[in-house]
Amino acid sequence: MSSASLTLRWLHSLEWRRGFFAWARTDGVTWVYIFKVLAAAFITLWLAMRLELPQPRTAMITVFIVMQPQSGHVFAKSFYRVLGTLAGSAMMVALIALFPQNSELFLPSLAVWVGLCSAGAMRYRTFRAYGFVLAGYTAAMIGLPVLEHPDQAFMAAVWRVLEISLGILVSTLVSATILPQSASAAMRNALYQRFGVFAGVVVEALRGDSQRDRFETSNVRFIAEAVGLESLRNVTAFEDPHMRRRSGRLVRMNSEFMAITTRFNALHRLLERLRARGPLQIVGAIEPGLKTLAELLEPYVGRALTDADALRLTLELAAYKEGLQAQVRSLRAEYLETDPSDSDLLDFHTAFELLYRFVDEMFSYAQTHASLSAHNHPLEQWDEPYVSQTSWLVSLAAGVRASAVLLLLGSYWLLSDWPSGAMMTLIATVTVGLSAASPNPKRMSFQMACGTLIGAFIGFFETFFVFPWIDGFPLLCMVLAPVFVLGAFLSSRPAYAGYGIGLLVFFAIGSVPNNLTVYDPYTFINDYIGMVIGMLVCAAAGAIILPPNSRWLWSRLQRDLREQVLFAIGGRLRGLGSAFESRTRDLLHQAYGLAAGKPQVQSELMGWMFVVLEVGHAIIELRKEQARAPVHPAYAESQPWRQAIRVMGRALARLFLQPSASNHERALVAVDHAISRVQATDEPFARHFDTSVLRRTQSYLHFIRSSLLDPQSPLAPAKGLH
């Protein structure tokens, strides 16, 4: 064989291997997940039947709900499912004991409990939400079937806990032993990759090549990653002691990354305003300092930041910080020769103050990242946790929908005495719980109804035309496997997850045989009709009762976003920066998801987030400067400049609570007055002692003024600016 042929075969083999590894990282992961779902489901069903549990299908349904591609998610979901099941079982036993055979009091009490659990699920949007969901519909699944036989309630609760525990145990073992996919590996990959993406955004923006759309898209990604990494951190605590020992540093890193993105956003938007309005002299005076930083970060663009890279970046940023002050003094001296105005000189100082803060925050982030290589480190001590923020109206809406659905369908069942009414009410409760934390419960419920309808047709055929002809558990697995494969595949696709859940879970409820199989077409058809009706009622409730994707909710979340400025003004100073960052980004993440498909609304929300973060952080820095000011008459509480800053704070609070032209004008007047007061204080004392606090205060006040005058800010229309 010639060398050319060997070379071609080698290239072909190399190409094939690359293609295989690319498939393994994408679709291959999905098919491994599907295989694990099948293995766990059939092992659980076999064990449940061998142990003669009353409802083996309940144990198998637990597998479908708990299984996730990554083992850490399975552990977390299983843990909260156990807690939710225990809470729901205990509540149901209590309700049955209080209202035995008294449906007039039992049903409203159950509706209140399910509503509270659905509200809790919306409030806690991580896997903790799943515990609330389970606590709600477990109570219904135990209580509704035994409503007329209260003496069976306790044993029903015990059997349900045992069935769920079996499903959880098998799911956990299968996920951890068969080709495990670690959540901690996904978290490390996300941590290492995101700085390379961020460095690319920074270098592009510092050189003036950034486009607004790409800049906003990058910020949406960083916000989603910050929220997602906090959820991943909670998950990895269940599976990886290595990551659990670094939990404090991971929280610190997430907080510091949010801080550097905010610092950079403020710097970038100031530079945009300066480049847009000129004069060119100030832009030319600032850009040499920016160029040095861009050159420093360029080697890190688009590559993973390993622990060794983070250590090298720490040393480079430390050297850059040391030389920055001398560089600023040199650039300032050159700029003064152009005879700039006081406002332009303030812009110069403000830009370099923001640059210094950005570099300082980035140095802290790199330092924390480098510390991950050590098993123990002093930086692990961190007492500023991620703070989530959910509008109480959003939670209330989820609770009201759940209670209304249960009351409506439960009342219809009791009044009509329809034999399948209990199944309809029960499935509606499960559906409203599973869709409670979804951004679009109407769509989720409708997809689940469609998946259930498909499962009904398949189930009818298999139950009455296939099951009677098969013998033995292996043949049963062969018959069920195609349905489960299709359901697992659909549930792994976010756009079709509802169809997959409906097919998997509710096909199992209605069609998977128990130890004693009863072939009753009348009950089978009626139960499936009840299931689909219950889900369609949930979809209608999601569209009618306080829908989460409606304009009123966007407006409310936008108001909550603006009110974070009030939190920056009046919140406790200790840990305020981290809490302000996480609350603001969490709110934006919720609102952005609810406004999916509405680009104009999403753009407006992003605009508000930028201005809230800019002004809020400037206010927090002002408060910190005043808190660390030395003991001197110039910094006394009674000084006019401090009183002027307090007046400015009240004016900004009014502006963000009620944006209007008049409040915008008052806020600008208050900011100008505060700047003049600080300047008046700075000049007499400048010759006698260090006035760096006053100089920095001027920079932050000027930045607030510049932000309020930004023509692209959502505050600009309040004054008619364009």
Residue 9 in domain: no
Question: pLDDT tens, 385-401?
Answer: 666 767 777 788 888 88
Count Cα atoms within 13 angstroms, Cβ side, for 152: 13
How far apart (Å, rounded) are the C-alpha atoms in residues 314 and 379?
A: 15
Question: pLDDT tens, 186-217?
Answer: 777 777 888 888 888 888 888 777 667 777 77
654 pLDDT band, cuts 50/70/90, is very high
pLDDT of residue 286 exceeding 80, the answer is no
pLDDT of residue 177 exceeding 50, the answer is yes
Q: Phi-psi bin for 528: left (phi > 0), alpha (psi -120 to 50), beta?
A: alpha
414 pLDDT band, cuts 50/70/90, is confident
- Same domain, residue pair 442 and 534: yes
- Same domain, residue pair 202 and 149: no
Please give the average per-residue pLDDT across 674-680, as a whole number: 82
Which CATH number is 231's domain given? 1.20.58
What's the Cα-to-Cα distance from 167 to each of 72, 82, 186, 430, 627, rounded to whole Å? 16, 11, 25, 18, 56
46 pLDDT band, cuts 50/70/90, is very high
- Same domain, residue pair 471 and 448: yes
pLDDT of residue 722 exceeding 50, the answer is no
Task: Give the per-residue pLDDT at 706.
Answer: 79
- Same domain, residue pair 368 and 419: no
In 3D space, the residue among 718, 595, 711 whose CA is nearest the CA of residue 273 turns out to be 711
- Same domain, residue pair 40 and 57: yes
Question: pLDDT tens, 614-633?
Answer: 888 888 888 887 777 666 66
User: 3-state DSSP call for residue 598?
Assistant: coil
Task: Give the per-residue pLDDT at 14.
Answer: 52
Task: Give the per-residue pLDDT at 720.
Answer: 46
Contacts 24+ apart (CB under 8 A), 595-598: 595/549, 595/554, 596/439, 596/440, 596/549, 598/554
Task: Give the per-residue pLDDT at 239.
Answer: 67
Torsion angle, alpha carbons of 31, 33, 39, 42, to 10: -100
Please give the structure tokens belonging to residue 572.
């406790």
Residue 622 in domain: yes
The answer to whether 257 touches 365, Cβ cutoff 8 Å, is yes
478 pLDDT band, cuts 50/70/90, is very high
Question: pLDDT tens, 333-379?
Answer: 776 777 677 777 777 777 787 888 888 888 888 888 888 888 887 87
For residues 310 and 212, which has the higher predicted lDDT (pLDDT)?
310
Count Cα atoms within 13 angstroms, Cβ side, for 245: 11
pLDDT of residue 225 exceeding 60, the answer is yes
Task: Give the per-residue pLDDT at 47.
Answer: 92
- Same domain, residue pair 465 and 580: no
Which residue, of 491, 525, 544, is where some domain finishes?
544
User: What DSSP string runs through 177-216?
Assistant: HSS---HHHHHHHHHHHHHHHHHHHHHHHHTT---HHHHH
How far apart (Å, rounded) are the C-alpha atoms in residues 636 and 693?
A: 13
How far apart (Å, rounded) are the C-alpha atoms in residues 438 and 401?
A: 13
What's the Cα-to-Cα distance from 116 to each of 129, 402, 635, rounded to whole Å? 12, 9, 50
287 pLDDT band, cuts 50/70/90, is confident
- Same domain, residue pair 173 and 189: no
Which of 5-9, 261-265, 355-359, 445-449 has the highest mean predicted lDDT (pLDDT)?
445-449
Which residue, of 356, 380, 404, is where some domain finishes?
380
Please give the structure tokens belonging to residue 89.
């079982």
The answer to whether 617 touches 260, Cβ cutoff 8 Å, is no
Question: pLDDT tens, 98-141?
Answer: 877 677 788 888 888 888 888 888 777 666 777 788 788 788 77
- Same domain, residue pair 344 and 438: no
- Same domain, residue pair 314 and 297: yes
CA 342 to chain centre: 44
Count the Cβ atoms, other than its own, within 10 Å of residue 40.
26
- Same domain, residue pair 537 and 582: no
Residue 537 in domain: yes
Torsion angle, alpha carbons of 674, 351, 220, 590, to 10: -20
Task: Give the per-residue pLDDT at 13.
Answer: 58
CA 112 to chain centre: 27
Please give the average per-residue pLDDT across 477-485, as a whole number: 91
Count the Cβ atoms, other than its own, within 10 Å of residue 543.
16
Residue 18 in domain: no
Task: Give the per-residue pLDDT at 295.
Answer: 86
- Return the percentage of the chain with pLDDT > 90, whole number: 4
Residue 719 in domain: no
Question: pLDDT tens, 230-265?
Answer: 777 776 766 667 777 777 788 888 888 888 888 888
Residue 653 in domain: yes
Task: Give the per-residue pLDDT at 274.
Answer: 77
How far apart (Å, rounded) are the C-alpha atoms in residues 225 and 232?
A: 10
In 3D space, the residue among 263, 269, 435 whose CA is nearest the CA of residue 362 turns out to be 263
pLDDT of residue 665 exceeding 80, the answer is yes
Please give the average per-residue pLDDT across 7-35, as a whole number: 61
Please give the average per-residue pLDDT across 78-106, as a whole number: 80
pLDDT of residue 536 exceeding 80, the answer is yes
- The range of the structural domain enclosing residue 658 comes to 551-709
Helices (H), 51-127: 56-66, 71-98, 103-123
Please give the structure tokens belonging to residue 227.
């929220």
Q: Which of 198-207, 211-220, 472-481, 503-512 has the lowest mean pLDDT?
A: 211-220
Residue 421 in domain: yes
Question: pLDDT tens, 130-146?
Answer: 778 878 878 877 777 77
Residue 457 in domain: yes
Please give the structure tokens belonging to residue 449.
């109804």
Number of domains in the chain: 3
- Return the percentage of the chain with pLDDT > 70, whole number: 86
For residues 67 and 692, which has the higher predicted lDDT (pLDDT)?
67
In 3D space, the residue among 685, 670, 668 whose CA is nearest the CA of residue 629 turns out to be 685
Handedness of CA 225, 562, 267, 619 (dihedral sign): negative
43 pLDDT band, cuts 50/70/90, is very high
- Same domain, residue pair 111 and 41: yes
Which residue, of 320, 352, 380, is where some domain finishes?
380
Indicate the average pLDDT of the chain.
Answer: 79
Please give the structure tokens belonging to residue 101.
């055979």
How far apart (Å, rounded) are the C-alpha atoms in residues 236 and 560?
A: 31
Helices (H), 628-660: 640-657
pLDDT of residue 689 exceeding 50, the answer is no
Q: How far apart are the first and last CA of the chain?
A: 73
- Length of the chain as a residue count: 722
Please give the structure tokens belonging to residue 717.
């229309």
686 pLDDT band, cuts 50/70/90, is very low
- Same domain, residue pair 205 and 339: yes
pLDDT of residue 7 exceeding 60, the answer is no
